[in-house]
Structure 1
Amino acid sequence: MAEVTGGEPELGLRERKKRQTRIDLCMAARRLTVERGLDATTTDDIAKAVGVSPRTFFNYYETKLDAVVGPVTEIGTPAARAEFISGGPSGVLIDDVVTLYASGYEPEDEVRESISFVAEIIKTEPRVLAGFMAAGAQHEAALSELMTTRAGGAISAELAGLTAGLMSALATRAAMSLATHPARTLADALRAQCALAAELFHRPDNS
């Protein structure tokens, strides 16, 4: 479970390094899986690509499949999570959820590369797609905890599930939209998809 405390501080140097190693292992696992396939990729290969010991790999992920799926419970950056649970930045839940997710899209080039890896992998590796689906419950739980902390009390499982599913759909559409809007950042693409979704709920003023 991601760290989700009411006063979550900005990460110290040691924690930032650990977070970066977790991300680096995920990127290496995805890159090697694209190049070799999941079966031909080993945890030793992934560790070597990042420059850490095989033992260190298991401090972050239990299996190579877990590494390919990545840290699904880390939603946004630590600073963005702290801002979200404190009620900001806008005070409007959907806008703040979008800002939270968008904060995780840096560095831009690395995230774009990661998305391209995932798109390639799921075409040929059903186990990875199943892994992402299984990880959805963990992601939903992490988002639910963030939303509960922000609200100061438990929220319904239905709301947490709906929010997680909505953000997954918006993020997927945002990534797809980059094919026709390559100059757009991922964060802007996500916000554009949210604006499109809002049109579904627009009610003309009949007054």
Structure 2
Amino acid sequence: MADAKHNEPEMGLRERKKWQTRLDLCMAARQLTTERGLDATTTDDIAKAVGVSPRTFFNYYDTKLDAVVGPITEIGTPQAREEFVAGGPSGILIDDVIWLYASGYEPDSEVRESIALIAEIIHTEPRVLAAFIAAGARHEAAVRDLLSARSGGEVSAEYAGLIAGIMSCLTTRAAMSLASNPSGSLSDALRAQCDMAAELFRRL
């Protein structure tokens, strides 16, 4: 696999601010839901926790449940998606898909906290688990859009769904692998999982 991890894209200030606000609202929604429960959490509470107006909240999410689920269709960072669609950074699809997913794993501390909150929420809020499952279809559609834009032609839903499913599995396994390595990098863990998966296919 080509080593692109030291060539992560930089976002413009405005893009980074919008991206961070979306993530901050998601984290606040998850934290408040963990503390109070979904029913006792309001969109006003979430907005206040982040320091934005209730109107701003609705620029990013339609409902508080959407905020808890988070930006499931935003794979990687905005600039990483742009570079991926343009055919980069390596030109090798599998390497670039891995790089794209890994680009959204910074900083590690926030991603780790987010994973821990999700794990806690889905045990107590069945609606959230159902929403995550439903969001899987939107995630697949987002992957399909990116692949189609990159290839210049429409890719099949089955192909996009396969890639989305593989990457979802590998990212979950990467997060789980860090239980015994708290100081490890999620990006590095993802790449390690992908390398193991590649080894499986090489043995066929």
Normalising by structure 1, what TM-score? 0.89
The aligned counterpart of 1:196 is 196
The aligned counterpart of 1:119 is 119
Code of the residue aligned with 1:84 in structure 2: it is F
Code of the residue aligned with 1:50 in structure 2: it is V
The aligned counterpart of 1:145 is 145
Partner secondary structure for residue 179 of structure 1: helix
Code of the residue aligned with 1:164 in structure 2: it is A
The aligned counterpart of 2:94 is 94
Q: Counterparts of 1:151-190 in structure 2 under 5 Å?
A: 151-190=151-190
Distance 1:150-1:121 versus aligned 2 partners, 3 A rule: same
CA distance in 2, matches of 1:85, 1:103: 14
Code of the residue aligned with 2:67 in structure 1: it is A
Code of the residue aligned with 1:70 in structure 2: it is G
The aligned counterpart of 1:106 is 106
8 Å CA contact 1:10, 1:78 repeated in 2: no
8 Å CA contact 2:15, 2:78 repeated in 1: no
8 Å CA contact 2:80, 2:103 repeated in 1: yes
Code of the residue aligned with 2:201 in structure 1: it is F
Distance 1:49-1:177 versus aligned 2 partners, 3 A rule: same
Q: Which moved more, 1:57-66 or 1:77-86?
A: 77-86
CA distance in 2, matches of 1:181, 1:12: 33
Partner secondary structure for residue 180 of structure 2: coil
The aligned counterpart of 1:21 is 21
Q: Deviations over 1:12-35 (max 9, x none)?
A: 433432222111110100011111
Partner secondary structure for residue 130 of structure 1: helix
CA distance in 1, matches of 2:21, 2:107: 15
- Residue 199 of structure 1 deviates from its aligned partner by 2.1
CA distance in 2, matches of 1:36, 1:96: 40
How many pairs does the alignment contain? 196
Q: Which runs of no fewer than 5 residues in structure 1 stay unpaired? A: 1-8
Identity %: 76
Q: Deviations over 1:2-50 (max 9, x none)?
A: xxxxxxx975433432222111110100011111111111111111101
CA distance in 1, matches of 2:10, 2:199: 36
The aligned counterpart of 2:5 is none
Q: CA RMSD of the aligned region, Å?
A: 1.7
CA distance in 2, matches of 1:121, 1:57: 21
CA distance in 2, matches of 1:199, 1:48: 48
Q: Point out the structure with the larger helix share.
A: 2
The aligned counterpart of 2:4 is none
The aligned counterpart of 2:57 is 57
- Residue 82 of structure 1 deviates from its aligned partner by 2.0
CA distance in 2, matches of 1:203, 1:17: 45
CA distance in 1, matches of 2:42, 2:184: 36
CA distance in 1, matches of 2:195, 2:10: 30
- Residue 169 of structure 1 deviates from its aligned partner by 0.5
CA distance in 2, matches of 1:123, 1:22: 24
Partner secondary structure for residue 59 of structure 1: helix
8 Å CA contact 1:77, 1:103 repeated in 2: yes
